[in-house]
Each structure stands twice: as C-alpha cells, then as structure tokens.
Structure 1
Amino acid sequence: MKRVLLLGNCHFTIARFRKELVCKLVEIGYDVWISFPNFSQGEKESGEEAAKRFNCNFIEFRLDRRNANPLKEIGTYRECKRILKTVKPDYVFTYTIKPNIYGGMAANSLNIPFAMNVTGLGSGFNKKVLSKLLFSLMEKNMKRAEKVFFQNNKDLTTFLDRGYKGDNCVLIPGSGVNLEEYRELPYPKETAKKEILYLARIMKEKGIAEYLKLAEQFADDPNIVFHICGDLEEDYREIIDEYALKNVIIYHGTVENVQEYLEKVCVVIHPSYYNEGISNSLLEAAASARPIITTDHPGCRDVVVEGVSGFLFEKKNAKDLIDKFQKFMNLEWDRREQMGLEGRKFVASKFDRNIVVNEYLTCLEEKWESERA
C-alpha cells in the first residue's frame, strides 16, 4: 500500500479545501496522512478529529506561520524532516509557501518524491529583500519537484518570466469548489434587508480597510447590514471592535458553516489585493449563486464575469468599491438574482473540484507508472 502525505500551513488548507482528495485517496487504497498546525486559525476541529472523519492519519506540524526570520526557519525545516522521517511517505503534496519550501527541502534530502502547490505567492513576495530569498528557495525546490501546480496564470508567468523552464508545471483551477456541498441557494426576498458579506482573513492585503470604508459610507441606512466572517489578525482587533460597537459592522469570527451566512446575503464583497491563488471564498460564494464584487486582481478577477456575475473594482480604491456597490444596489432585484445564477453556472463549468482531484491522481499514477517502466 502506497503512503501519501499532505502537508499544509493550517486546518482549512487540508481539511476543508483538500478533503475530497483525501477521501478519494483513502477510497482507492492509499495510506493517507495529513499534517498541519492544530488550531492556528480559530477552527474548532483538531487535526486528529479531521483525520478520524476522513479515515486517515494525522501528525501535527509545529509551524509559526507568521515568522519571517530565516534563522528561526531552520526549525521549520527540521520539523518537516521530523514529520517525513516519522511518516515515511512514498509521495508528498505540499501546500502554501512554507510547506512548499521547507517540506520540499526535507523531502528532497530524504529522496522522497513530492509535488508543490503554489496556492498564491502571499505577502512575502511583496517585500523587496525577502522576495529575492523566497524566489530563490522556491525555484530550487521547483526544479526538484515531480510537479508544480499553479492556481492562476499570473503566478505561473511570474516564474516563467524569471527564466524557469516550466516543464513540470501544471495550471489547475485553484482548489476548485465542491458543487454538491456548495449548492445553489435561493436568493433573499426582495423585501428583506440587504445583507452584505466579507468572507476572508481580516488583514490589510485582504482589503479590510476598503470594506470598512464602504460599511461606514452606508452606516446610516437601516436596510443594509455589513457582516464580516474570518480569522482576526491582532493588528485589527481594536478597529473591528470599534466598528462593531458603533453598529457599522457585525463580526462573527471564524465560521465553520459558511453556507449559513451565504444563505442570508445578497452579495459577497472581496476587496483583496493579496497574492491569491484562486480565492476560495469567491468560489464558494459563486457556487452558492451569490453575486460578487471583487478586485481586478489575479486570483479574484478569474472568478467573475464582469457585469454578468458581478463587478470588478480597482484594488486599494475604496471610492471605486463604493461606486460599484452603489451600481449593484441600483439594479433590479431579478437582475441581482440572475447575476448569482450566472456565477454558479460559470464556476460549475471551470472550477469543479473534481477537475483538481483528477489532476493529483494523474500525478501519482504517472509516478508509479514511471517506477514500473
């Protein structure tokens, strides 16, 4: 029985966005292990509980996701090596920057084949000095990897433009979305209050400041309610508490059942200029037949058909966001409902999670076939 390890930076990365892959691997006979930090983003389920639910195995990844000190990251490399020596996998899938870099390095040092998943370049690639180091480490590992999966063409092109050959690169439609789990939801009644949703980590690059300016602009309208769901970065705790106290927004914290909130809202707003792969929040919103207002930014614009399933606005531009929101609110109720239906149709045709799962299975099959040859 072949043993496969999925290594990620948090519970959501593996237990939420790759659960279909885990279950499929278990179903066809793999010995599956998952590894990520426990309780790093406010989730209620432990890795052990997730593994029990998936009928696989869990080993905790002791990781400081926000540390940027290269000397301290030696410990992350050693932790990845500890995990691999304990699990002894035949193949490793790594997800997000740190697992890609340090998990890839550890796998290479132990002669274990691995595939990297570039789920976006994150904020580190925006910092001049740090980005040089990150590009160097990523490119070294990419050359050693069996496959490198990219979620959007912009990220892939970034590496190709730097001279990477790309022979082992595969472009996939993000993490995909489970169309059975995220079904078309009935659109809220025309007479209902207009509920608006921000569904993302609360951090600068996710556009929280622009969303708060939008909410403030319409704070005096009793028929519009602005909701925020997501993991709270410490920098914003006082600000979010202040806006909640003034009844400008309602903050729900990290939520497990996203559909419960999507069901109530008439539009999802994602003001991100973070280096996304493909935004999972937008995929889930669109699959649930909710219109989208998001930035004209890689990983966000890919999920929207402009003017058909939602609107795009200029990143970091709160005025443009307010204008596009007003434009959306001025539409007739049935036009807004139709936007949601068009969004569902679009992601169903291009972002079905089964497409992504099949790419991973093909990756494994090609590896075992090459070993038999």
Structure 2
Amino acid sequence: MPLRFILAALLLGLAGLASANPYPSQLYPLQLTALARGLNHPWSLAFLPDGRMLLTERAGRLRLLDAQGRIDPQAVSGVPAVVAVGQGGLFDVLPHPRFADNHLIYLSYAGGTPEASSTEIARAQLDGHALRDLKVIFRQLPRSDSDHHYGGRLLFDRAGKLYLSLGDRGEDARAQRHNDHAGSVIRLNDDGSVPPDNPWVGHSGWKPEKFTLGHRNQQGMALNPRSGAIWTHEHGPQGGDEVNVIRAGANYGWPVITYGKTYGLGLPIGEGTHKAGMEQPRKVWVPSIAPSGMAFYQGKPFAHWQGDLLIGALKGEMLVRLKLDGDKVVAEERMLKGALGRIRDVRVGPDGLVYLLTDEDDGQLVRVSPAPTR
C-alpha cells in the first residue's frame, strides 16, 4: 500500500478517536489517548521502575516503550521460540518484585510444537535490548495438539510466590485430573521450585505445582490490594464466564458444574450449576463477554473507583467495572462499548491512569484518563 494511504488511514483513525472523546461513564467522562499503534495482537503490558514499559505481541515479539508509550524500534532479543498457532503465542510479561535490583522478568508462552504444545514460563535478565540467562522454569504437562485454552496470566503475591493461570486446552476432563496441570492455577517459588506448602505436595498422583483445579480458560488474574487475595476470571462456553477468588486446594467445578451451555445447541453441561465441594463464582456473565485482562484500581485520578475491579472484554468489546463489597460483586458498569474493539489487557499505571491493549492485527495501546471538566 502506498505510504500516503497508510498515513491517511492513521490520521483518520486518530481523528475518529479524538472526535468521539470524551466517552461517558457513570462517574467520569473518559478521555482516550492512543499512545501506540501498529501492534500485532498485543497481549500483555508491564511497567518498569524507571517508567518504561514492556509489551508482548502474540506472534512472539517483546517490545520496549518509553514512559510516553513510544515504541522502541528495536525489539528485545532472546525471547524463547513460541507456537503462534490458533490462540498460542507469547502471552504475559511480568517483572520480578525486585526488578530494580535483579533485572529479572518472566514470560509465559505456548512452547513446544504445533503438534505438542503447552504453556511454559521462562525467566531471564533484561539487559538493554536482550534477554540473558533465559531458563524455562515451568512447563505444563502433558502437552497437547490443541491450539487453544492456554490461559497464560502471571502474578506475584505479597509473599513473593509466582502464580500462573492455565486453561483446559479445550479438553474438558483434564481440568479435574490430579496428574495434569491443565485447568489449574499453578503456584511456584520465584525460581520455579515448588513451595512445600502447596496443597497437594506429597499427595500421590498429584502434580505438586497445582494450587487449584476445575478451570476452563483463565485469562485474567489480579491481586486484591485490600485483602491480598488472588482473583481470576475465565471464559465459559456460550455463557458462564466467571470471576473467582482463588483459595488453596479449591475446585472451581469445570466441567462438572457451569453456567454455560454447549455451543450451537445450547444444552446443559455436566451436573448443573452447583455441587457440594465445588466453588461458586463471585460473578457470572450470561451471555459471555469473553473477559481478558484484569486489574484492581488504585490511584488518585479515578478516586471514586478505588478498589474496583476493571476487566477487558474481547467479544463484548468494552471495559467492565465491578464494584465490590469485600469479596462480593455488588454492581457492574460497562464502559467504552465498541469504542476500541477487542480489549485484551487492562493495567493501572504508576500514574493511576488505566492502560488498555486491543487484540487486533493493528493493535493499540490506549491510555484512559478522566476528561478535563469545565
């Protein structure tokens, strides 16, 4: 395509975003600022102590951005090879809690081959534009020839333990198997070793890395700043998207219980929506919004959102705000409906503003701020 047409399209896109601003919401008019464009299905964003950002693209590229969101033209080298097929690819990027001292980052991604892939975690030192001393510290087993439901979100808790959310790989029964990582939350030490207090350490036939089981496909995970609890959300089948509070050793039900239905025919799945010994979600969406990305809000710019949960939606193409009372969801607001397309990741920056990634061939990094009031 001639350069003049590309520039014209970019200018039209910027004009369209600007002309629609500000966007209404219940508590604030929202100002959207496109910081970066031309991203290839961006998946995750992380902030570094010096103000820079790290951003993953699903095809396997790790990018550096400056504090203003400008993309460094030189990608980070040394990223592990990824299986960028179907839903596979490079997923989350997470700096170590002591990154300023050790420069360690963690990547989750689909590793292996298209015929036998699984979600992995690699740890490496960020040295300028390169990753050094990269080591795979976890590999989901067994692998699968499926190309979806990888999960892939990473999180550190207050004690410095590392968590990974995993999907069932589209093979439902795996989420209830003791000797299978699929459909679980995984808990590790920061070097990939297994904490001795994991719930099934020493239990014959159990994967010791497992912290929970019974999940379908978790693509959001966040630490509640008030309680320290870990919250996740997951995709349901034709309805039944869930928000859950994670507890050691808990079973979240899939595919035995669910609020979703079979695709196409809409028939019940499993044994209904409740069963003794299985957790109930804190929030359910029917029909599905296809949640992805998740962050608790803390900051001054959106002071009235303090402690609220922000969730992106792929199918729903919106930003969802959940009001909480302790561990209960008491209200929901749907914002930016159709304004940006598929929202893949949601982050709250050090400045208290909200940053969104859009899951497109021409993906964007968009900053959300309160619009100036007259």
**Under a length normalisation based on structure 2, what TM-score does the superposition of the two structures give?**
0.27
Of Structure 1 and Structure 2, the greater helix share is in 1
Compare the two structures and name the one with the higher strand fraction: 2
For normalisation by structure 1, the TM-score amounts to 0.27
